[in-house]
Amino acid sequence: MKQLTEFPTTDLAQITQKGQYVLFFHADWCPDCKFIEPEMPSIEEDFPEYQFISVDRDQFLDLAKKLNIMGIPSFVAYADGQEIGRLVNKNRKTKAEVEDFLKSLA
């Protein structure tokens, strides 16, 4: 999974303008983030049509606020520059919940 810091810009419109993306908002101190993190490689493998981008919420707090990311872990999906769905709340998420969310986008 690429980190947002690996891109030459943090402008989501520019990053997501072509293709399908899932932003994974998390933080080092978040136990629910640590719960889903081991499942992320498998989720990525199950959904190769998406490019997953890891976003440290604390490092990109302004972006999280702009996108109304109040709870983590959270997922925001884009297709060709447009937001197409979000799984944003403060609840712990299971692999099945994340995959059901991604399936619902199709």
Strands 74-79 and 82-87, sheet pairing: antiparallel
Out of 12, 30, 43, 72, which one is annotated catalytic? 30
**33 catalytic per annotation:** yes
Out of 15, 22, 33, 72, which one is annotated catalytic? 33
**3 catalytic per annotation:** no
Residue 49 CB neighbour total at 10 angstroms? 11
For residue 87, the cross-strand partners are 75
Q: What is the separation of C-alpha 67 from the centre of its chain, rounded to a whole number of angstroms?
A: 12
Q: Which two tokens stand for residue 55?
A: 């976003």
DSSP 59: T
Residue pair 25/64 in contact by the 8 Å Cβ criterion: yes
Provide the annotated active-site residues: 30, 33
